[in-house]
């Protein structure tokens, strides 16, 4: 049973990216941790790389650096994405520039990274790809909460599910699995981006969001990371094209 030894993790400085990097490094994986900003610290076995995963030239640089470090890349964990900085609560307030930016952050970046890294996985006959969607791929009821540009974000996260399902079918015969993790409400410590947005909401909205989670609590980045790590493992070799919600039964 072949095990993952080398991993490219994007969005590595965020909550989920940091937890994933730490967990995989602790399992002995060599990691290229990619983000727009360098992390404050990196575990042993982790090489940091500053790059924009939505920029074609910079993705080429990511692939080149991974090749220098590892020779071949066993896995891609694409955490980078998001709803962008512009608050656009509905269709009327969503400008084309916002739509295109959110699509680039989530969908275009996924295509570019897979286009750069998956062919080498095909050649070696082994690979793992995990993309990060969201339970908001099915939409969110009620007034906007912690998501800035909700409509393009939902569309982009739904597109990732379709992209990953098709790529899984295209690559399965080459020993590659492609799966998607769809987190629900994941709150970090005070000072993190989503936590600050959540804390800034009126008490009623916070209570409504928490009340919609049957498990009665938000999730943790470590719980998402554990799901990612399982999908990279040899035990998950027959799970392919799946979307796994990590959401406390909220979806």
Pairing of β 127-132 and β 176-183 = parallel
- The whole-angstrom separation of Cα 85 and Cα 103 is 13
In a domain, 151, yes or no: yes
Strand-by-strand arrangement of the 30-35 sheet: 46-50, 30-35, 6-10, 75-78, 127-132, 176-183, 243-246
* Distance of alpha carbon 171 from alpha carbon 150, whole angstroms: 31
Q: Evaluate whether residue 1 is within a structural domain.
A: no
Structure tokens at 156: 């982009």
Specify if 70 maps to a domain.
yes
- Sorting pLDDT into bands at 50, 70 and 90, what band is 7? very high
From CA 138, how far away is CA 151, in angstroms rounded? Answer: 11
Residue 190: which pLDDT band, with cuts at 50, 70 and 90?
confident
| CA 187 – CA 195 distance, rounded (Å) | 5
> pLDDT by residue (tens digit) across 93-118?
999 999 999 999 999 999 999 999 99
Domains in the chain, number: 1
CATH value at residue 98: 3.40.50.720
Residue 251 belongs to a domain = no
Q: Does the structure show a pLDDT above 90 at 39?
A: no
**Alpha-carbon distance 75 to 233, whole Å?**
10
123-171 pLDDT, tens digit each: 999 999 999 999 999 999 888 788 999 999 999 999 999 999 999 999 9
Structural domain of residue 239, as residue ranges?
A: 6-246
Other beta carbons within 10 angstroms of residue 62's beta carbon come to 24
**Catalytic, out of 126, 153, 163, 198:** 153
Identify whether 182 is part of a domain: yes
Q: Residue 238 catalytic?
A: no
Residue 4 has what pLDDT? 97
Summarize pLDDT for 42-93 with one digit per residue, the tens. 888 899 999 999 999 999 999 999 999 999 999 999 999 999 999 999 999 9
């Amino acid at each position: 049973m072949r095990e993952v030894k080398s991993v490219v993790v994007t969005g590595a400085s965020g909550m989920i990216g940091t937890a994933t990097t730490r967990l995989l490094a602790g399992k002995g994986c060599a990691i290229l941790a990619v983000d727009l900003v360098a992390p404050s610290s990196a575990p042993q076995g982790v090489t940091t790389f500053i790059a924009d995963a939505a920029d074609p030239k910079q993705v080429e640089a990511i692939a080149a650096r991974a090749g220098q470090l590892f020779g071949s890349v066993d896995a891609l964990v694409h955490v980078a994405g998001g709803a962008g900085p512009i608050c656009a609560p509905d269709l009327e307030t969503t400008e084309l520039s916002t739509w295109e930016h959110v699509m680039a952050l989530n969908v275009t970046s996924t295509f570019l990274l897979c286009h750069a890294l998956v062919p080498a996985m095909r050649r070696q006959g082994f690979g793992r790809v995990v993309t990060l969607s969201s339970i908001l791929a099915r939409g969110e009821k009620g007034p906007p909460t912690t998501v800035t540009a909700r409509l393009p974000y939902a569309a982009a996260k739904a597109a990732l599910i379709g992209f990953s399902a098709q790529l899984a079918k295209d690559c399965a015969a080459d020993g590659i699995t492609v799966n998607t993790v769809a987190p629900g409400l994941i709150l970090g410590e005070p000072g993190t981006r989503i936590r600050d947005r959540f804390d800034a909401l009126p008490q009623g909205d916070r209570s409504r969001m928490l009340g919609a989670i049957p498990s009665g609590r938000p999730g943790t980045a470590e719980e998402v990371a554990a799901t990612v790590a399982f999908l990279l493992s040899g035990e998950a070799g027959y799970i392919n094209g799946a979307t796994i919600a990590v959401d406390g039964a909220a979806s």
